Amino acid sequence: MISSVLVANRGEIACRVFRTCRELDIRTVAVYSDADENALHTRVADTAVRLPGSTPTETYLRGELIVKAALTAGAEAVHPGYGFLSENADFARAVLDAGLVWIGPPPEAIEAMASKTRAKELMAAAGVPLLAPLDPGAVTEADLPVLVKAASGGGGRGMRIVRELPDLEGELKAASTEAQSAFGDGTVFVEAYVERGRHVEVQIVADTHGTVWAYGTRDCSLQRRHQKVIEEAPAPALAPGVEKRLRSAATAAARTITYTGAGTVEFLVSGDDVHFLEMNTRLQVEHPVTEAVFGIDLVALQLSVAEGAALDGDPPSPSGHAVEARLYAEDPAQNWAPQTGTLHRLSVPGIRLDTGYEDGDTIGVHYDAMLAKAVAYAPTRAEAVRRLAGALERATIHGPVTNRDLLVRSLRHEEFTTARMDTAFYERHLADLTTAAPDPYAPLAAALADAHGRSRFGGWRNLPSQPQTKRYASAHGEHEVHYRRTREGLTADGVRVLSAAANLVVLEIDGVRRKFDVTRHDDRVYVNTTALTVLPRFPDPAAQQAPGSLLAPMPGTVARIADGLTTGSAVQAGDPLIWLEAMKMEHKITAPATGTLTALHAVPGQQVEVGALLAVVQQGPPL
């Protein structure tokens, strides 16, 4: 029996594993980087061991440091979580060689699936249908579009869709660079890209006695940048016989590599066609939807298998439907740019919320931008979708910009509610999903709440006063609002102010009474679900930037500069000039216009803050 577990990970997944360990009376050990010194997973563990440094390569990707931490803290077993070293066969061997229990599949099984190219060879030999890799040097116009993929790792990193043949070489290089940074392996390959396919996967659990259970299906088709956003179980609206084929192929894949523990076999489904994508030899981010539908605890099953227990009888039968949405600190309207800062408040009542954050925690630049996973369960799919959308809409999220509104609109989109979605959903609908009209009365409510209790010259005046003016910025632009303080109290044109307090404003608009909950944190004001930034009455002239200035959209590290780019270089509008790495993803900074690069301040390896000046492009003919 395992009595203590070190989780070789951070954030939400570390907290998730610790939760099951506490329920099973197993002592927990965390590891943490300097950036995670006060992180939630560090605080909730029984014991925590520091990994010096802040970046993943200095800390969570250092297997020898993690094994040493486990031995130092007296842990008996290591759970890898997902990401980082979770699918690293050498790390699994190092854990076993140190006399520790590895809560995962054998290193040989990890190795067999670690390279997606090798995995495809094994699956082809086992009769599992798949898309064969293409020779990058032999790709023609007829093969397009194609997908460049990292041979190691997952999570959408090191993946690029190529639709124009001249772009292939550059995207191969970019994908390789990103994969090297994320997984320590820059190997990439190319395969055909299926435009309207669905991403469907099968959860499996196998014991050391030869039993393999396949826990139904999950649909993970709603993705941004090849990373999953909304997942559900079971996968809806599959063609007749497809689910049985998926479960059979997943079981065959597990048996082919003598798999043990929890894992996921992923497929691309298009109508009746099924293509093997990869096998994730670890716990998946979206595992809670399977837990909800089957009434199981997959972490507990992992621990049980690691202790040598046999899976008894048949797997439980599924019941109902579950949907999960990944809540990210990112701005979908700005090319999914990750956001950082203080998370003042996070509350999504009424449903399961798996998170690695608490109120007051800081969202940093070094790791993934996911704040939490919101999971709703109900007897039917329609009920589960409605419940999740409603819970997110009513959630209190005060801090950096998030994708909450996008999630709500996605869940209510006709293609999703009728189960006609595919992996290109956001390519078609992102613009519509991110341009919803703002609440026009939120800025007024913010101004009235701020004015509550304030008085000038002893209160109201006998003579009519000039209106008070306040300015705010939101995701939809700048807003200027006006109100007056009279004998009757605060007033505003076009609405009736029923009450105004620091945290609650009640307005009557066209005969309809509306309540506005208001919370302020420094210069940020949250009115219901609208986030506003207080603007000064007079803009600071020093804050103005020269036309053509390229500013860092987020804090991060300058990963690289375009080849041959120097001051004086001629550039074309849309040319990628600088790549920023933030939260484990690369972000391209492109030329805003055709012209000349007149200044280049970015240097590879340089740490930059949001708004930092990276370069300047002067529009017009080359100088």
- Taking only the tens place, the pLDDT of each residue in 300-316 is 999 999 999 999 888 99
Select the CATH number that applies to the domain covering 4-103 from these four: 3.40.50.720, 3.40.50.20, 3.40.50.1820, 3.40.50.150.
Answer: 3.40.50.20
Tell me what the mean pLDDT of segment 336-350 comes to.
Answer: 94
Which range, 91-100, 223-232, 530-539, 598-607, has the best average confidence (pLDDT)?
Answer: 91-100
Alpha helices in 161-284 (DSSP H): 168-183, 242-256
What confidence tens digit (pLDDT) does each residue in 138-170 have? 999 999 999 998 887 666 778 899 999 999 999
Residues spanned by CATH 3.30.1490.20 within the chain?
Answer: 132-192
Q: Is residue 463 over pLDDT 80?
A: no
Average pLDDT rounded to a whole number, residues 408-427:
97
Bond preceding residue 467 cis, omega within 30 of 0: no
Whether the pLDDT of residue 282 is over 70: the answer is yes
CATH 3.40.50.20 domain residues, the chain: 4-103
CATH 2.40.50.100 maps onto the chain at: 544-619
Q: How far is CA 215 from CA 82, 86, 218, 317, in A?
A: 19, 21, 9, 9
Cis peptide before 234 (omega within 30 of 0): yes
Q: What is the pLDDT of residue 159?
A: 87
| CATH of segment(s) 544-619 | 2.40.50.100
Could you tell me what percent of the chain has a pLDDT over 90?
A: 74
Examine the pLDDT at 453 and tell me if it is beyond 60.
no
Q: Tell me the residue length of the chain.
A: 623
Phi, psi of 420 (to 5 degrees): -110, 20
Cα separation, 91 vs 183, whole angstroms: 13
- The whole-number average pLDDT for the span 247-268 is 96
CA distance readout (Å), 186 to 138, 176, 177, 256, 281 = 20, 4, 6, 27, 20
Q: At what angle do helices 287-294 and 298-306 cross, to 10 degrees?
A: 90
Q: What digits encode the pLDDT tens for the residues 163-208? A: 999 999 999 998 998 888 777 788 899 988 888 899 999 999 999 9
Cα-based distances in Å from 87 to 58, 82, 105, 505: 18, 8, 9, 52
Residue range 393-419: mean pLDDT, rounded: 97
| pLDDT of amino acid 251 | 96
Distance between start and end Cα atoms, the chain: 73
Fold of 442-535: Glycoprotein, Type 4 Pilin (3.30.700)
Q: Span 198-433: which CATH code? A: 3.30.470.20
Among 231-245, 249-263, 548-562, the range scoring the smallest mean pLDDT is: 548-562
Confidence class for position 392, pLDDT limits 50, 70, 90: very high
C-alpha–C-alpha distance, residues 129 and 294, integer Å: 27
Mean pLDDT of 475-481: 88
Looking at residue 555, what is its pLDDT? 79
In order of 452, 464, 485, 486, the CA distances from 458 in angstroms are 14, 15, 11, 12
Residue 458 pLDDT: 43
Fold of 132-192: Dna Ligase; domain 1 (3.30.1490)
Categorize the per-residue pLDDT at 438 as very low, low, confident or very high, splitting at 50, 70 and 90: confident
Residue 607 forms beta bridges with which residues?
557
Q: Where in the chain is the domain with CATH 3.30.700.40?
A: 442-535
CB 236 within 8 A of CB 419: yes
Residues of the chain with CATH 3.30.470.20: 198-433
3-state SS, residue 247: helix
The two three-digit tokens of residue 337, written as one number: 């740019």
pLDDT, the chain, mean: 92
Q: Cβ of 512: how many Cβ atoms within 10 Å?
A: 7
In a 10 Å sphere around its CB, with 0-12 CB exposed, 13-18 middle and 19+ buried, how is residue 480 labelled?
A: exposed
Query: What is residue 196's predicted lDDT score, i.e. its pLDDT?
Result: 85
pLDDT, average across residues 2-15: 98
Please tell me the distance from the alpha carbon of residue 37 to that of residue 296, in angstroms, as a whole number: 32
Best mean pLDDT range from 144-153, 383-392, 589-598: 383-392
- pLDDT tens digits for 214-235? 999 999 999 998 899 999 999 9
pLDDT over threshold 80, residue 523: yes
pLDDT of 79-125, one tens digit each?
A: 999 999 999 999 999 999 999 999 999 999 999 998 888 898 899 98
Neighbours of 528 (CB within 10 A): 18
